[in-house]
Chains A and B, each alone.
Chain A
Amino acid sequence: MSGCRVPYRVFTERQYYDREQENIFKGECWSFVGLEAEIPQSGDFKSTFVGETPVILTRDGDGSVHVVVNRCAHRGALVCREMRGNRPNLECVYHQWAYDLKGNLIGVPFRRGLKGQGGMPGDFDMSQHNLRKLRAESVGGLVFASFSETVEPCRDFLGPIVVEQIERIMCKPINVLGDQRQRIRGNWKLYAENTRDPYHASLLHLFHNTFGLYRSTQTGKALMDANKRHSLLYSIAASNDEAADKQAYGDSRTFDTEFKLQDMSLLKGRQEFADNITLVILAVYPNLVLQQIQNTLAVRQTVTYGPDEFELVWTHFGYADDDAEMQAIRLKQTNLIGPAGLISMEDGEAVEIVQNAIVGENRAESYIAMGGGRAEDADHLVTEGAIIGFWDNYREMVGFDLEPA
């Protein structure tokens, strides 16, 4: 029988989660940690996570960007206790051990003793006690980090399709508009599925279908990188044909010709891209989605908190050269996305209704076959192929074969 099957245990059992932390987030992968535009000035920093490990993203005086583990080399305290800010160096409050913005230890109080007493031993070598440094690379203004010394360069890990899409949206300087945080009671991989899924988008989200923001009848594609772990969904709203689409969708709950807005200014937009593409969902393995929905632009970072909880950190942005009208358009269209988003809020429920239904299920499996049941590109939007690509990679990195707990 064709189709991909995923045992539900991978969403609920602690052992899969622990192995993911090791094999994915500390393994041969690049994790998204933030936008360069969040740390524009020298001394700027932001706290975030790679997997469960707290890290600090910094901009050094020489303009370079660094990612270090947020843990003092002394006795393990959090060095940075704020979400973001600007500092000339990093200093642990406990014993005032000081590190430069690259993570090098530069100061240890009482290193040579105090009033002739105490001090560190003679063989104490500061250069052996830096903050643990991750590799950090920026692609189009998106910063990625990895614990691995052997993973290929980030641009290669992403592949040409992903890099091209990043550069399409990040084509000019951006302006961060703000953050939103959505705490979802489900496994992070359910969101990875959801964002690789053009099949659900017009069937779950009434706003997408009824207002023609996205329909599976649109001109668009579902593509993957060569390794099939990342996914690009894109579509063109101008390809809508109201009559034909209505016919195709029949009585679907989400194609609701009776549903009308009193104030249509919510949907007012402006064509921004010469290619006419109005929706891009770029799901980058393992923890990032870069999106364009009409005139909303955002990154969504997944932060894991155990097998049945994750946080989606939304960072919304516009372009530095947006005029006042464009700024107003983006502000209003933000009502469509984020945790209160008329479209996006529903993905939170989609994840949770799976997590709730698979509790304690250590035998049954899902069934993924729309579009043919293989990890294949499609030049249409009626497929689950990219979801299968995700699982093929997961099976390689983590496996489905752990003994039932």
Chain B
Amino acid sequence: MVLPSLEQIQLHHVAAQLNALHAELIDDDRLEEWPDLFEEKCQYSVISSENHNRSLNLAAVFCDSRGMLVDRIVSLRRANIFPAHSYRHVLGPTRVVSATEKSVTAQTSYVVLMTRNDGKTSIYNSGKYIDEVCFAGERSRFVSKKAIFDTHLIDTMMVRPI
């Protein structure tokens, strides 16, 4: 067999670290830092596999700019009324599906556990990320992140990013 090249290992590391940081910022409630993980012109969508598998693009959350991500966070902080909760992401290994000169496409399974005021932790949302990560600039960022979730039943509502 052919062992991975150093470059392949580096690409994988970049994609995996970015996903780990995405999860960490959300879980640690450092939401104001989260939009900066994305390019200015980016795509972030959270869509059920029910729709995705039917080739329908109706998403629970759909943003096509970093500004829209900021707006979602400001809305969470100042506008929206929702039950108090915290998330814990558990991520599977990131696998690099393909790579070009400037970007990689990667796939990562995830589970988001939610804990509400009653102290009970439940499985809130499970699915996979399909990401395009750009590493051409001074730091790596998501060009696009699509969370395709299996958990069609959204427990009460979805306000925090997946």
Partner of A338 from the list B60, B83, B152, B155 (CB cut-off 8 Å) is B60
From A188-196, A213-221, A280-288, A329-337, the one touching the partner chain is A329-337
| Contacting residues of chain A (317-370) with chain B, CB-CB under 8 angstroms | 331-332, 334-335, 338-340, 342, 345-346, 348-350, 352
Complex CA distance for A207 and B68, rounded to whole angstroms: 14
| Contacting residues of chain A (68-86) with chain B, CB-CB under 8 angstroms | 83
Complex CA distance for A350 and B80, rounded to whole angstroms: 12
| Contacting residues of chain A (289-331) with chain B, CB-CB under 8 angstroms | 311, 316, 331
Cβ contact within 8 Å between B50 and A83: yes
Q: Give A238-258 as 1s and 0s: 1 = Cβ < 8 Å from B's Cβ atoms.
A: 000000000000000000100
CB distance from B119 to the nearest CB of A (A): 15
Query: Which applies to chain A's interface (DSSP): helix, strand, loop or mixed?
Result: mixed
A contact residues around B82 at 8 Å (CB): 345-346, 348-349
Considering only CB atoms and an 8 Å cut-off, how many residues of chain A contact the other chain?
38
Complex CA distance for A83 and B2, rounded to whole angstroms: 44
Residue of B nearest to A327 (CB): B57
From A9-17, A118-126, A140-148, A179-187, the one touching the partner chain is A179-187
Residue of B nearest to A318 (CB): B58
Complex CA distance for A265 and B71, rounded to whole angstroms: 11
Complex CA distance for A334 and B45, rounded to whole angstroms: 12
Cβ contact within 8 Å between B79 and A256: yes
Q: Does B75 sit within 8 A of A, measured CB to CB?
A: yes
Cβ contact within 8 Å between B79 and A182: no
Complex CA distance for A379 and B18, rounded to whole angstroms: 54
Considering only CB atoms and an 8 Å cut-off, how many residues of chain B contact the other chain?
36
Known: A181-B152, A206-B80, A263-B68. A349 touches B58 (CB 8 A): no
Partner of B46 from the list A184, A207, A340 (CB cut-off 8 Å) is A340
A contact residues around B79 at 8 Å (CB): 206-207, 210, 256, 259, 342
CB distance from B46 to the nearest CB of A (A): 7
Cβ contact within 8 Å between B62 and A334: yes
Q: Does A402 sit within 8 A of B, measured CB to CB?
A: no
Q: Does A106 sit within 8 A of B, measured CB to CB?
A: no
Complex CA distance for A186 and B38, rounded to whole angstroms: 37
Partner of B154 from the list A204, A259, A263, A339 (CB cut-off 8 Å) is A339
Cβ contact within 8 Å between B65 and A339: no
A sample of 7 more A-B contacts (CB under 8 A), given A334-B58, A345-B80, A345-B158, is A182-B157, A206-B80, A262-B74, A263-B65, A335-B62, A342-B80, A349-B157
